[in-house]
Amino acid sequence: SFRMGIYQAVVGNWSRPPSARQGMQVTLLVELVPTGDVVAVSIMDSSGNGAFDRSAENAVNKVGRFVVPTESEVFERHFRKFTLLFRPEDLLR
Protein backbone atom coordinates (compact mmCIF):
# COMPACT_ATOMS: atom_id res chain seq x y z
CA SER A 1 0.00 0.00 0.00
CA PHE A 2 1.06 3.61 -0.46
CA ARG A 3 0.80 4.33 3.27
CA MET A 4 3.18 1.47 4.09
CA GLY A 5 5.62 2.79 1.49
CA ILE A 6 5.50 6.24 3.08
CA TYR A 7 6.03 4.78 6.53
CA GLN A 8 8.97 2.64 5.38
CA ALA A 9 10.58 5.59 3.59
CA VAL A 10 10.37 7.72 6.75
CA VAL A 11 11.75 4.89 8.91
CA GLY A 12 14.66 4.49 6.51
CA ASN A 13 15.57 8.17 6.87
CA TRP A 14 15.18 8.54 10.63
CA SER A 15 18.19 9.25 12.83
CA ARG A 16 17.35 8.40 16.42
CA PRO A 17 18.40 11.20 18.77
CA PRO A 18 20.09 10.09 22.03
CA SER A 19 17.20 11.54 24.03
CA ALA A 20 14.55 9.38 22.31
CA ARG A 21 12.89 6.97 24.71
CA GLN A 22 10.29 4.22 24.43
CA GLY A 23 6.80 5.63 24.70
CA MET A 24 7.60 8.93 22.97
CA GLN A 25 5.45 9.86 20.04
CA VAL A 26 4.86 12.89 17.86
CA THR A 27 2.04 13.48 15.41
CA LEU A 28 3.09 15.24 12.22
CA LEU A 29 0.94 16.83 9.54
CA VAL A 30 2.48 16.07 6.15
CA GLU A 31 1.44 18.01 3.05
CA LEU A 32 2.22 16.79 -0.47
CA VAL A 33 1.66 17.91 -4.04
CA PRO A 34 0.38 15.43 -6.67
CA THR A 35 3.94 14.47 -7.66
CA GLY A 36 4.44 13.18 -4.09
CA ASP A 37 6.87 15.97 -3.20
CA VAL A 38 6.77 17.13 0.42
CA VAL A 39 5.76 20.78 0.63
CA ALA A 40 5.29 21.06 4.41
CA VAL A 41 5.73 19.12 7.62
CA SER A 42 4.43 20.47 10.90
CA ILE A 43 4.05 19.18 14.44
CA MET A 44 0.43 18.66 15.47
CA ASP A 45 1.06 16.98 18.81
CA SER A 46 4.56 17.20 20.30
CA SER A 47 6.32 14.44 22.19
CA GLY A 48 7.57 17.05 24.64
CA ASN A 49 11.12 16.42 23.41
CA GLY A 50 12.31 18.92 20.81
CA ALA A 51 15.16 16.75 19.50
CA PHE A 52 12.80 13.81 18.95
CA ASP A 53 10.20 15.99 17.23
CA ARG A 54 12.82 17.53 14.92
CA SER A 55 14.25 14.09 14.08
CA ALA A 56 10.80 12.96 12.93
CA GLU A 57 10.30 16.14 10.87
CA ASN A 58 13.76 15.76 9.35
CA ALA A 59 13.08 12.13 8.40
CA VAL A 60 10.03 13.18 6.36
CA ASN A 61 11.93 16.05 4.73
CA LYS A 62 14.88 13.78 3.88
CA VAL A 63 12.57 11.52 1.89
CA GLY A 64 11.53 14.55 -0.14
CA ARG A 65 9.19 12.68 -2.49
CA PHE A 66 6.85 9.82 -1.74
CA VAL A 67 5.23 7.39 -4.16
CA VAL A 68 1.54 8.31 -4.20
CA PRO A 69 -1.51 7.26 -6.24
CA THR A 70 -1.79 8.85 -9.68
CA GLU A 71 -5.59 8.98 -9.45
CA SER A 72 -6.29 12.58 -8.47
CA GLU A 73 -9.40 11.79 -6.41
CA VAL A 74 -7.55 9.21 -4.29
CA PHE A 75 -4.56 11.52 -3.89
CA GLU A 76 -6.70 14.49 -2.85
CA ARG A 77 -8.73 12.45 -0.38
CA HIS A 78 -5.89 10.57 1.33
CA PHE A 79 -2.48 12.03 0.48
CA ARG A 80 -2.72 15.81 -0.05
CA LYS A 81 -2.59 16.24 3.75
CA PHE A 82 -2.26 13.39 6.22
CA THR A 83 -1.13 12.78 9.75
CA LEU A 84 1.79 10.56 10.60
CA LEU A 85 2.11 9.15 14.13
CA PHE A 86 5.79 8.69 14.83
CA ARG A 87 6.80 6.33 17.70
CA PRO A 88 10.26 4.91 18.45
CA GLU A 89 8.99 1.46 19.42
CA ASP A 90 7.53 1.15 15.95
CA LEU A 91 10.81 2.22 14.39
CA LEU A 92 13.27 0.13 16.37
CA ARG A 93 11.88 -3.37 15.87
Q: What's residue 29's pLDDT?
A: 97
Predicted local distance difference test score (pLDDT) of residue 7: 85
Q: What residues contact residue 48 under an 8 Å CB cut-off, 6+ apart?
A: 24
Q: Is 8 exposed, middle or buried (0-12, 13-18, 19+ CB in 10 A)?
A: exposed
With residue 88 as reference, give the H or E element that holds it: helix 88-91
Residue 35 burial by Cβ neighbours in a 10 Å radius (0-12, 13-18, 19+): exposed
* pLDDT tens per residue across span 33-60: 999 999 999 999 999 999 999 999 999 9
Do strands 38-45 and 81-86 pair parallel, antiparallel, or not at all (unpaired)?
unpaired
At 11 the pLDDT is 84
pTM here is 0.89
Q: How many other CB atoms are there within 10 angstroms of residue 70's CB atom?
A: 10
DSSP symbol at 21 = -
